[in-house]
């Protein structure tokens, strides 16, 4: 079974631009979560989607948003990029049992550099 | 909010030896999950082992095992017969039972020497 895939793998943007990252979950996984990893803050939860609905969101500004499609693929968008948004963005997918996500499996990440 | 603490920023072990990575967490919940993930230089986060809080038996996956002490809120990872490929950053993570988000520790960088 194919793993979680993320595109693009690397991205360079300038301040003020916006960016969209994509995540395709493992087949059959309906929950998708996003995390930001930086040297200073470590790994931080962004949001989780299930059945095209955002169920939980971390402590990030409204510039960070996402969505999930009917095939469980997910995108996250960051508008008005700031230098501090430079990070590795990780997507994770999981099975859902009784509406609760099981173990999360991660993709390879998208490395975003904001200049 | 639950916090996860990994007190060892770096650890070193010789090939074929055993090493233990420490993790403590703070929670008032009784039902939760604990995980160890490994992140090699490729940055791909790989699940190493998972422990359900309601299970008293410690989880084991081949050379990897945990020592789960619920009362002490401790969850250490033991790697036996260390191999060069075990070199990576190891993250301890907590998730409440009905929750969605993983709370990660800051990580422990493991160096394996020949």
Amino acid B100: pLDDT: 80
| Between B52 and B1, the higher pLDDT residue | B52
Report the share of chain B in percent with pLDDT over 90: 86
Amino acid A98: pLDDT: 78
Scanning every residue of chain A, which has its alpha carbon at the shortest distance from the alpha carbon of B92?
Answer: A43
Helix, strand and coil content of chain A, in percent to the nearest 5, comes to 5, 55, 40
C-alpha distance from A32 to closest chain B C-alpha (Å): 10
Scanning every residue of chain B, which has its alpha carbon at the shortest distance from the alpha carbon of A97?
Answer: B98
User: Is 90 exceeded by the pLDDT of residue B98?
Assistant: no
What is the residue-averaged pLDDT of chain A? Answer: 95
User: Is 90 exceeded by the pLDDT of residue B30?
Assistant: no
Q: Which of A2-6, A37-41, A96-100 has the lowest mean pLDDT?
A: A96-100
Rounded to 5 degrees, φ, ψ at A104 are -90, 135
How does pLDDT run across A45-77, given as a tens digit for each residue? 999 999 999 999 999 999 999 999 999 999 999
Amino acid B91: pLDDT: 98
Amino acid A70: pLDDT: 96
Amino acid B1: pLDDT: 67
Amino acid A96: pLDDT: 85
Determine whether the interchain pair A103/B50 forms a contact, defined as Cβ–Cβ distance below 8 Å: yes
How does pLDDT run across B38-78, given as a tens digit for each residue? 999 988 999 999 999 988 899 999 999 999 999 999 999 99
Paired tokens of B102: 């993983």
Q: Give the best residue of A9, A36, A40, A45 to mutate against chain B (max B CB count within 10 A).
A: A45
Paired tokens of A85: 């948004």
CB pairs under 8 A between A and B: 48
Scanning every residue of chain B, which has its alpha carbon at the shortest distance from the alpha carbon of A104?
Answer: B47
Over residues A7-21, mean pLDDT? 98
Q: Which residues of chain A does B103 touch, with a Cβ-Cβ cutoff of 8 Å?
A: 45
Amino acid B56: pLDDT: 84
Determine whether the interchain pair A43/B102 forms a contact, defined as Cβ–Cβ distance below 8 Å: yes
The rounded distance, in Å, linking the Cα atoms of B21 and B8 is 7
Determine whether the interchain pair B91/A106 forms a contact, defined as Cβ–Cβ distance below 8 Å: no
The rounded distance, in Å, linking the Cα atoms of A73 and B93 is 24
Torsional class of A17: left (φ above 0), alpha (ψ -120 to 50), beta (otherwise): beta
Tally Cβ neighbours within 10 Å of residue A90: 25
Paired tokens of A69: 């499609």
Amino acid B73: pLDDT: 96
Amino acid B75: pLDDT: 97
How does pLDDT run across A99-108, given as a tens digit for each residue? 777 899 999 9
Closest CA to B62 of B49, B46, B45: B49
Contacts of A43 (CB under 8 A, 6+ apart): A35, A36, A37, A90, B91, B102, B104
């Amino acid at each position: 079974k194919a793993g979680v895939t993320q595109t693009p793998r690397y991205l360079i943007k300038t301040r003020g631009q916006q960016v969209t990252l994509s995540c395709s979950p493992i087949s059959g996984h309906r929950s998708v979560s996003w995390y930001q990893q930086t040297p200073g803050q470590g790994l931080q939860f962004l949001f989780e989607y299930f059945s095209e609905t955002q169920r939980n969101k971390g402590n990030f500004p409204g510039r960070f948003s996402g969505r999930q499609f009917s095939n469980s693929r997910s995108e996250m968008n960051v508008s008005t990029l700031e230098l501090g948004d430079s990070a590795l963005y990780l997507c994770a997918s999981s099975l859902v049992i009784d509406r609760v996500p099981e173990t999360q499996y991660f993709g390879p990440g998208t490395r975003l550099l904001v200049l | 909010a639950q916090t996860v603490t990994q007190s060892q920023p770096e650890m070193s072990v010789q090939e074929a030896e055993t090493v233990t990575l420490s993790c403590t967490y703070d929670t008032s919940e009784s039902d939760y999950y604990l995980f160890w993930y490994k992140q090699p230089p490729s940055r791909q986060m790989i699940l190493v082992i998972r422990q359900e809080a309601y299970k008293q038996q410690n989880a084991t996956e081949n050379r990897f095992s945990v020592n789960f002490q619920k009362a002490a809120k401790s969850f250490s990872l033991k790697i036996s017969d260390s191999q060069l490929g075990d070199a990576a950053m190891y993250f301890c993570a907590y998730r409440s039972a009905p929750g969605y988000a993983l709370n990660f520790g800051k990580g422990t960088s493991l160096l394996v020497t020949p």
